[in-house]
Structure 1
Amino acid sequence: MKEGIHPEYREVVFKDMTPGIDFQFISRSTIQTKETIEFEGKEYPLVKLDTSSASHNFYTGETRIMDAEGRVDKFKKKFGARAGGKVA
């Protein structure tokens, strides 16, 4: 490999941020992070995950409501009258 053109490949801790789930694991990645965490007595870069195998309903068998509002209602609430779709 050429020197200086590849990103740093290092060990990183991935942590599931779902409330009530305490799941984290070490893997290797080139992802850039600003946060660090101490894991098993050593400091690693931290990547926060919305979902992992510990919280995804396919793996857990549980049904969780991730988004209580419908997507259309959420869009209308966010953009209101501007989302009318009429072009002047």
Structure 2
Amino acid sequence: MKPDIHPNYRTVIFHDTSVDRYFFINTTLQTSQTMAWKDGKTYPYQAIDVSSASHPFYTGQQRSTQLEGRVQNFKRRFGSRNLKGVK
């Protein structure tokens, strides 16, 4: 590999501000903020709005809201019809 052309690969603390969770991820992200962690070391710090801890798809909340919408849509379309005798 050629020297001095690759970005600095380091451990960064990501803070999901919506649920107040912290993640350590190795990345090439460049940030000017730092944060002292419980182990006494100082790490680069990046605040984020959404992560797997707060995103509805990963927490399962999105699926339940979609199912509620589908049930309501079904009742709206077919709920008033008499379906007896239909095979």
Shared fold by TM > 0.5? yes
Q: Which runs of 5+ in 2 are unaligned?
A: 63-87
Superposed, 1:35-54 pairs within 5 Å as 35-41=33-39, 42-54=41-53
Report the CA distance between 1:26 and its aligned residue. Answer: 0.6
Counterpart residue number, 2:8:
8
Cα separation, 1, equivalents of 2:7 and 2:45: 17
Q: Which amino acid aligns with 2:60?
A: G
Secondary structure of the residue that 2:11 maps to in structure 1?
strand
Is 1:58 aligned to 2:57, yes or no?
Answer: yes
1:29-76 Cα distance to aligned partner (Å, 9 max, x none): 11110111122321100111110111111122336xxxxxxxxxxxxx
Secondary structure of the residue that 2:35 maps to in structure 1?
strand
Identity %: 48
Report the CA distance between 1:14 and its aligned residue. Answer: 0.9
Secondary structure of the residue that 1:13 maps to in structure 2?
strand
Secondary structure of the residue that 2:46 maps to in structure 1?
strand
RMSD: 1.4
Secondary structure of the residue that 1:58 maps to in structure 2?
helix
Structure with more helix by fraction = 2
Q: Which amino acid aligns with 2:7?
A: P
Instruction: Give the TM-score, by structure 1 length.
Output: 0.61
Secondary structure of the residue that 2:58 maps to in structure 1?
helix
Q: Which runs of 5+ in 1 are unaligned?
A: 64-88
Runs of 4+ in 1 over 3 A off after TM superposition: none
Cα separation, 2, equivalents of 1:33 and 1:6: 16
